[in-house]
A and B are shown apart, each in its own frame.
Chain A
Amino acid sequence: MASILTVDDSASIRQTIKIALGNEGHEISEAVNGVDGLQKADGGNFDLIITDLNMPEMDGLTMIRELRKKPDKAGMPILFLTTESDAGMKQQAKDAGATGWLTKPFASDQLVRIVGKVLAK
């Protein structure tokens, strides 16, 4: 199954993702902010990153931009999972190279389906 990195400063959200996707047999790693996410992404070989937008240290947008600079991460699917729904933000996320945008709150089965879809591509 897939190896997925979840980047979120909220432990409860990480835990929810971990349980939802872990039950599907995916292997989930956690990072608590953008800086941590970058490091973990560098150190591991992930099939997908699911990231929050607003985080301390480094936000999700900056992290995505940094990741997309790296040749081996250029094509990696990266989903935003955020309470934010500002259109300008979405445009920025798209420009930065985000694969998709999911809004919190989300249902576990919904997340599982989307992740399945993204991974199938």
Chain B
Amino acid sequence: MNNTDPLAVFRVEAQELLEQIEQGLLDLERNPQDSELVAQVFRALHTLKGSGAMFGFEALSAFTHHCETAFDKVRKGEAVATPTLIGAVLSALDHMRTLAESPDAATDGGEALLADLHKAMEGEAEAEVAVVSPAQKTWRIRFSLPADCLVNGTRPLSLLDELRGLGEADVAAVVDNVPELGALTPAECHLAWDVKLTTTQPRSAIEDVFIFVIDDMRLEIAEEPAVLSDENDKQKTAKTPAEKTVADNVTALDSARKPAAEEHVPDSATTQHHTAGETVRVPAERLDELLDQVGELMIAQSRLKQVSATNADVNLRSVAEEIERLASELRDSMMFVRMVPISQLFGRFRRLIHDLARDLGKNIEFVTEGETTELDKTVIERLADPLIHLIRNAADHGLEMPAERKAAGKPETGRVLLSARQAGAEVVISVIDDGHGLNRDKIRAKAEENGLIQPGAVLSDNEINQLIFQPGFSTAANVTSLSGRGVGMDVVKRTIDGLRGAIDVSSKPGQGSQVDLRIPLTLAIIDGLLVRVGEGRYVIPLATVEECVELTTEQDQRSTGRNFLTLRDALVPFLRLRDMFATGTDPDRYQKIVVVSTGSERVGLVVDQILGHHQTVIKPLSRFHAGVETFSGATILGDGSVALILDVLHLVAVGQQQEERLRAAG
């Protein structure tokens, strides 16, 4: 009862297919001539229809069929992927999504969507009819199947459907050979069919319908005279319901497995998570469980390491080393398994921008960069909502109306850039717009009004920018249907804080604004450098460490009050952790400086001793301590004691402030 249940597999698959279709359509909007894209959309629609019908999603399947038909025409060059058509199918997608999630949901709106779709296709269809209109002929087709045809997998309904596909068909079932009820075996077929088909297709097309039917069927195909009496017509129409009952029976055979499939529905919650790749699908919870266990293993392993270090037994030491190596490989593979490209996330926003542009009446160009950047799966999922909010803000509040832009001498089309890049142990995700930028006066006024700051308080530009993340700060002055829905920027900040990340905002009036989200690569285990400061032990994330140098006595004394270190001609500020943490002990004779960086900025951390590499399983700080910015978490060492993990980002900021103060002082 899990991922091996085909129904659960289908649910995940349907989401992926819908995503594929959406992406394909959005790409097509830009390159309507790209036949590979058309084929891709068609295939995805086709698979969705087929698999949907398989698992009892008849409404989905039937609805998808119309879109598939439209794209089949495009694929064959009989129609063009016009913006109207793409728009119609995009709107239809949402309906398909609903149907895929709850097959029994009320299907309101479906018909209107189909009407739009047909309207979009109409222009094409008319043109087609005008060009190709060979003479129509009417055929009389009579066929009967062997009694065991159902057992052998022949489906009369699909044969009839195919005939209907050729042209206008009147179908009547011939019930003459059906035995008495007592002698009737439900699995046997005693019906014959009489079909009047009006089509432009040749006789061979009709014969082809029956190509794979087992040989002993009876089939007569005869051409009818063109004129038919009305009476004859009526008679056949009257018989149609009988055929329908039969058709229903046939479908009933197919859906016999349905109740069994529905028993698994409660499990489907697990399939809400999308897993990347197409080989093995595992529910996300299992990965989390596994990761937890790997974390526990890492802690046990560091205990073993400690025990073996104080033991003279060579065998124990060698096995401890072996286990250390294996455990760290296991951890790396585990991390690798959980990493998914951020493109998964970025893809969703193209649709958002499409809708925003339409609703706001703005021209928006959406550019993404660095989609291949990888992040932990759970992190990616939690980033979705904050990013939706930021993008909405950029499009709604950031970008100006086309006329306004033109007046300001900017291109009418606004630009929203979403980029991701890796910097050290973090991924930086930026949302950049080229709109009018943050209005600091307005922000300030609003913050004063809400009592967030004292009137007349002296604030730097950056501090004012940060105000928008305060709870209770809302740009209610321009609430629209899109932004200001009660989910404020404070929620964005809270989510990012929860991921141990940080937010930077910068803005230039008239030129746009930029929001950077800095997110740690993973939430669970990191490589750390274990150091000692006074009596306490601390972990510095290894990915941020650039180098370790000695703090010579000479440097130590010279730099008192001016904590700078000349490192290969560059001035690097450094922080004395023993002062920061007020250890109250004498410094070691040979202090070390660990130089850490966050990409562009560096700072040195003075420690007493470097203890070495440590596989750090991150445990969150208690809620009481969550506000302590210097530490991002804690870890348990081999001997059971706790070491705090330094928040390098924060420390670098402190170092930079120190540098600025020094510069200001001259």
Contact = CB atoms under 8 A, between A and B. Distances in A.
A87 B153 contact: no
Interface string A54-90: 1110000000000000000000000000110111101
A45 interface: no
Nearest to B256: A107
Range for the number of chain B residues in contact with chain A: 35 or more
A103 B157 CA distance: 11
A90 B152 contact: no
B209 A113 contact: no
B434 to A, nearest CB: 37
B628 interface: no
B18 to A, nearest CB: 14
B208 A114 contact: no
A82 B53 CA distance: 12
Interface stretch (B5-13, B89-97, B227-235, B614-622): B5-13
Contact of B212 (A54, A55, A56, A90): A90
Interface in B385-440: none
Given A9-B47, A15-B9, A83 B40 contact: no
A76 to B, nearest CB: 18
B211 A102 contact: no
B208 A90 contact: yes
A85 B205 CA distance: 12
Given A85-B158, A85-B162, A104 B209 contact: no
Interface string A104-121: 111110110110010000
A107 B253 contact: yes
B6 A83 contact: no
- Most chain A CB inside 10 Å of its own CB: which residue of B42, B153, B161: B153
B238 to A, nearest CB: 28
A26 to B, nearest CB: 16
A101 B159 CA distance: 12
A113 B219 CA distance: 25
A61 B111 CA distance: 35
Interface in A14-28: 15-16, 19
A56 B563 CA distance: 62
A38 interface: no
Contacts of B5: 15
B437 to A, nearest CB: 44
A32 B281 CA distance: 14
Contact of A83 (B12, B53, B209): B53
A16 B212 contact: no
A94 B211 contact: yes
B153 A11 contact: no
A2 interface: no
A16 B153 contact: no
Contacts of B162: 85-87
A114 B43 contact: no
Nearest to A114: B153
B314 interface: no
Given A15-B9, A87-B211, A107-B253, A113 B151 contact: yes
Contacts of B209: 87, 90
Given A19-B6, A106-B153, A113-B151, A10 B212 contact: no
A11 B46 contact: no
A55 B47 CA distance: 9
- Most chain A CB inside 10 Å of its own CB: which residue of B46, B161, B205: B46
B155 interface: yes
Contacts of A56: 40, 43
Contacts of B161: 85
B153 A54 contact: no
A45 to B, nearest CB: 23
Interface of B: 4-7, 9-10, 12-13, 40, 42-43, 46-47, 49-51, 53-55, 151-153, 155, 158, 161-162, 165-166, 205-209, 211-212, 253-254, 256-257, 278, 281
Given A85-B165, A87-B211, 16 more contacts: A10-B51, A12-B13, A12-B51, A13-B6, A13-B50, A54-B47, A85-B158, A88-B205, A90-B209, A90-B211, A102-B153, A104-B53, A105-B254, A107-B257, A113-B153, A117-B152
26 contacts: A10-B13, A10-B47, A11-B278, A12-B7, A12-B9, A12-B10, A13-B6, A13-B51, A13-B54, A15-B6, A16-B6, A19-B6, A56-B40, A87-B166, A88-B208, A102-B153, A103-B155, A105-B53, A105-B54, A106-B54, A106-B153, A107-B253, A108-B257, A110-B253, A113-B151, A113-B152
